[in-house]
Structure 1
Amino acid sequence: MDQRARLPASLPCANPTASLWQTPLADIADIQAPELPAVTDVVIVGSGITGAAIAWNLLSRAKSAGQQNHARLMNHATHQRVGARVLPPNRVVMLEARQACSGATGRNGGHTKAASYRSFLAHERALGSIEAACQIARMELANIREVHSFAKEHGIDCESRSCWTVDAIYDPDQWAHAHEAAEAMGKAMPGEDVSRYEFHTPEQVRERFHLEEGEVCGGISYEAGSISAYRFTIGVLKLCLDRGLSLETSTPATRISALEEADDEGHRWVVETPRGLIVAKEVVLATNGYTATVEPRFQGIIVPLRGQITAHRPGSGMPKDGLQMTYSFIYRDGYEYMVSKAEGSSHAGDIVMGGGLVKAPDLGLDEYGNSDDSTLNPVISKYLYGTTPRYFGSKKWGEDHPDGRVRKEWTGIMGFSPDGFPFVGEMPGRPGLWVSAGFQGHGMALCWLCGKALSEMMSGRDGEELRAWFPDAFRVSEERLLRRFDGVRHTPVDSRTEPRH
């Protein structure tokens, strides 16, 4: 694993596989200005949900400040410190190596799902605090709810659906862990929605969730949702464009360096791209699995991991109106996750199934350190192809669609950290260089509020109000940057090692 983690990070490849969500491409997929801006307040590297969230919060705060302090801002074309606070930027440039939202956000499985019970006990052990574990669980559910609420409030057409999910569990130890964790959460957060779980017997799993009983131990259901993260993020980026964002696609950041001394207006960073240089006051890395490409301190710390997903046309025996819940299938060493595309969406009823990593040789070892999303792993392809009739049973699945079972298959690059937490905050000893990355394949339950938290920090609002909901465990620190990645434990009960998040 150490050898895989040390593989040099690379920029996103030029010809990635196309996800179901990216068909058709958005009308801003290839947007860029005739000339790259030479000077700006903030450069955000990455146009996924994290970069979009940061841009939205910075630009919205700038707009609000402009309305309240028009005269003052007219005299300060770029933001300056005012007492203990920082005036928000009014110039934000976003760089994207490929097309807009072409990374992990536009290539995920469509889930907005926390599964907080699966990491709760590990978080309590790692952090030495049950309250710290509760804070993470609360933030995950709040993040999911805020994403769906934002889509509704702003009329973003993105297949947003709040619903319940079910985890079908096929391993006795995982089943016992689920009961232990749910009980602990109920005691720690009595009466809160975040600790609301329902358990189901094998017979109920078969009858209520259309699954084949097989070797299933039972099921656990709770609040979740599904969404086209691609269309959601494109919608947010369009809102940001209306507020003055300069979105520059096909413009990778190839090097970021600090000036020896900031100029009179506070510009201190130089971002190099194939289209020229940009001088900025602050730079934000919203680059997830690619972060080490532009910030070498993350080499071997945020490690790329390639995931694989298929979209299955529904079999003839599946419900005609689609499945009304989302699913995960949990076994000893790993899991699959599944979303049925909602009625009224493109390819309604299609079943999006992701996972299968541990079915590859050496439990998927060669997928670590792999940032090539232009190809597929044939072993995982074969495994994912067989998941739907296996989990639902051949009779309930029925005959494959006349056009074939798999409509589309793709890969995407996630980012994993040594301790299982994202890195959010300012880089130690590098003022003005910020990061929000390393989401462990769990971005739809974390990215939106991590982006909001980072924008608060950048605006000088890093006080008790933020610390009340944002976990200290997520913050960038020198100590965390000294750790080294030694693998991901995909399940809280792992046959290979002691449980670790």
Structure 2
Amino acid sequence: MEERSRIPPGVPRRDPTTSYWQVPPSDIASLRSTAELPTTADYVIVGSGVSGSCIAFNLLSQLPGARVVMLEARQAVSGATGRNGGHTKASSYRSFLDHERELGTAEAVKIARLQYANIVATHALAREHGISCASTMCSTVDIIYSQTHLSLGRKAIERMRQVMGEDDPAAQYSIWTAAEAAKQFRTPNALGAFESMAGSLSAYDFTTGVLKLSLSLGLNLQTATPAECIRPEMVEGQTQWTVSTARGSIKTANLVLATNGYTAHLLPEMQGIIVPLHGQIVAQRPGSGLPQTGLKHTYSFIQESGYEYMISRPPSSFDPGTIVIGGGIWQLPNDGASRYGETDDSSLEPTITSYLRKCTADYFGPNWGSDHPQGRVKKEWSGIMGASADGLPYVGAWPDKPGLWISAAFNGHGMVWCLKAAEALVGLMTGNEAERRVVQHWFPRSAIISNLRMARKFTGRKDLKAPGEAAFGERSRL
């Protein structure tokens, strides 16, 4: 694992697999707002995923007229955001006890509430601006196949209710027995289940929608423009950052890296702190025994050493009923060590491919029915996540490098972190001291960059989880 963490990520591959969400591509997929790359900007954002797009939207909403340039190596929203599983799901109970032990009760509560708030805010933003992304708030269920996880989950939920209050929406879970889970969720082999509020959407459509809002506010988007290197220099007593590309260089006083698993390419100090993680997903036609217009819940299937995550496309989507399921890394030797440090999203790992194709029918058993006459698989793809050394994202100013800002390493959970992380980052960048203190009050301190966190290197499998989360098994979600 240490060897894998030392592999330089490089820039994103030119020929990635095409995800289910990218067909057809957005009309801004290959946009260059100006024919030439600007030579200067007030803010330069590297990366057009949900982090970079929400940062741009927040900046331009707060600072009308600011010159904001976004660089994207490939097409817009071509990274993990455009390749994820379509889930807005936190399952904060899975890390709550460990966060409480490692970070304290107040911080554990703050993380759980932040993740829930991020889900609600994401769907609210889509509604407010009419972003067509099949945004759906719905119940989700963790189907448990491990007695260990069933016991730990009950304990965690009880503790959350105790310290957060029975009425706190971030602590509201329903607990189901094996018989109830089999009946309610069509999963005959479950030991039990935990149900909570979550949602689903097309993260690709949501984020291209946010990008369009930003473009209307003046964002300059430059696709197919990989950032090759960055360097600081002093200009009249102020630090200026130069970003070099094959199309020329651009200078700025404020450089934002929303580069997730690729961050160490531009910032070698992050090598071994943010590690790329290759994940896979498959879109499938539902079996004849399942509702053909979509299940009412989204799902996770929790095994002793790993899990899968699944949505069923809602009636409001262009493709209702289609199942999108990802995971499977735990099927590989050494907890899937070979997937860490891997940035080739033009390829699929054969063992995971085989497993994801068949596991849905196994989970639903007789309730699956027969496969669709056109076959089960509609689309398969891969993508690159960013895994952090301590299981939490890195948000804020890089210590001792004025003007360098980061929002990255969401450990496969970007859809329950990125929108609020963007809000926090922009508050830290543009606010006065009082406003920055407000951000530090509501945003988890444990996710803010610090010298102490930077000292912790990626040294093994447990570092991919929230502190101490090893008891809950694999944490890998594209």
Q: TM-score range by the shorter chain?
A: over 0.9
1:174 and 1:493 in contact (8 A); partners too: no
C-alpha distance after superposition, 1:410-445 (max 9, x if no partner): 111111111111111111111000000010111100
**Counterpart Cα distance in 2 of 1:457 and 1:467:** 9
C-alpha distance after superposition, 1:152-184 (max 9, x if no partner): 000000010001100000000000000110011
2:245 is aligned with 1:244: no
**Counterpart Cα distance in 2 of 1:497 and 1:337:** 14
> 1:86 corresponds to which residue?
none
> 1:413 corresponds to which residue?
384
Per-residue deviation, 1:288: 0.4
Supply the AA of the counterpart residue of 1:483: R
Cα distance, 1:312–1:486 mapped onto 2, change above 3 Å: same
> 2:331 corresponds to which residue?
359
Cα distance, 1:488–1:113 mapped onto 2, change above 3 Å: farther
> 1:40 corresponds to which residue?
41
2:300 and 2:310 in contact (8 A); partners too: yes
> 2:8 corresponds to which residue?
8
2:306 is aligned with 1:334: yes
2:134 is aligned with 1:163: no
C-alpha distance after superposition, 1:442-492 (max 9, x if no partner): 110001100110000110245332122101111111121111112344787
List runs of 5+ in structure 1 lacking aligned partners: 67-89
2:428 is aligned with 1:457: yes
> 2:151 corresponds to which residue?
176
Cα distance, 1:487–1:443 mapped onto 2, change above 3 Å: farther
Matches within 5 A, 1:105-116: 105-116=81-92
Question: Helix, strand or coil for the counterpart of 1:230?
Answer: helix
**Counterpart Cα distance in 2 of 1:9 and 1:262:** 31
2:74 and 2:225 in contact (8 A); partners too: yes
2:395 and 2:421 in contact (8 A); partners too: yes
Supply the AA of the counterpart residue of 2:231: S
2:96 is aligned with 1:130: no
> 1:80 corresponds to which residue?
none
> 1:295 corresponds to which residue?
267
1:170 and 1:329 in contact (8 A); partners too: yes
2:48 and 2:72 in contact (8 A); partners too: yes
Per-residue deviation, 1:205: 0.9
**Counterpart Cα distance in 1 of 2:474 and 2:31:** 48
Per-residue deviation, 1:321: 2.6
Cα distance, 1:468–1:267 mapped onto 2, change above 3 Å: closer
Supply the AA of the counterpart residue of 2:399: P
Supply the AA of the counterpart residue of 1:113: K
> 1:207 corresponds to which residue?
183
2:445 is aligned with 1:472: yes
Question: Helix, strand or coil for the counterpart of 1:13?
Answer: coil
**Counterpart Cα distance in 2 of 1:497 and 1:143:** 24
> 1:82 corresponds to which residue?
none
Runs of 4+ in 1 over 2 A off after TM superposition: 460-464, 486-499
> 1:75 corresponds to which residue?
none
1:333 and 1:495 in contact (8 A); partners too: no
Per-residue deviation, 1:245: 0.3
Question: Helix, strand or coil for the counterpart of 1:413?
Answer: strand
1:117 and 1:178 in contact (8 A); partners too: yes
**Counterpart Cα distance in 2 of 1:419 and 1:12:** 24
Per-residue deviation, 1:242: 0.5
Specify which of 442, 448, 460 is matched with residue 487 of structure 1: 460
Question: Helix, strand or coil for the counterpart of 1:463?
Answer: helix
Per-residue deviation, 1:281: 1.2
Per-residue deviation, 1:125: 1.4
1:41 and 1:267 in contact (8 A); partners too: no
User: How many residues in Structure 1 have an aligned counterpart in Structure 2?
Assistant: 468
Cα distance, 1:246–1:496 mapped onto 2, change above 3 Å: closer
Per-residue deviation, 1:403: 1.5
1:135 and 1:470 in contact (8 A); partners too: yes
**Counterpart Cα distance in 2 of 1:24 and 1:361:** 36
> 2:173 corresponds to which residue?
197
**Counterpart Cα distance in 2 of 1:18 and 1:313:** 18
**Counterpart Cα distance in 2 of 1:257 and 1:217:** 54
> 1:23 corresponds to which residue?
23
**Counterpart Cα distance in 1 of 2:292 and 2:379:** 21
Per-residue deviation, 1:496: 11
Question: Helix, strand or coil for the counterpart of 1:29?
Answer: coil
Specify which of 392, 398, 416 is matched with residue 369 of structure 2: 398
Question: Helix, strand or coil for the counterpart of 2:235?
Answer: coil
Question: Helix, strand or coil for the counterpart of 2:442?
Answer: coil
Supply the AA of the counterpart residue of 1:431: P
Question: Helix, strand or coil for the counterpart of 1:453?
Answer: helix
2:37 and 2:247 in contact (8 A); partners too: yes
**Counterpart Cα distance in 1 of 2:298 and 2:35:** 43
Per-residue deviation, 1:284: 0.1
Scaled by the length of structure 2, the TM-score of the pair is 0.95
**Counterpart Cα distance in 2 of 1:487 and 1:417:** 11
Question: Helix, strand or coil for the counterpart of 2:300?
Answer: strand
> 1:223 corresponds to which residue?
197
> 2:396 corresponds to which residue?
425
Matches within 5 A, 1:5-154: 5-32=5-32, 33-63=34-64, 90-127=66-103, 129-154=104-129
Supply the AA of the counterpart residue of 2:358: G
Report the RMSD for the aligned CA atoms in angstroms.
Answer: 1.7
Per-residue deviation, 1:263: 4.1
List runs of 5+ in structure 2 lacking aligned partners: none
Identity %: 50
2:427 and 2:436 in contact (8 A); partners too: no
> 1:79 corresponds to which residue?
none
**Counterpart Cα distance in 2 of 1:108 and 1:116:** 19
**Over alpha carbons, which structure has the higher Rg?**
1
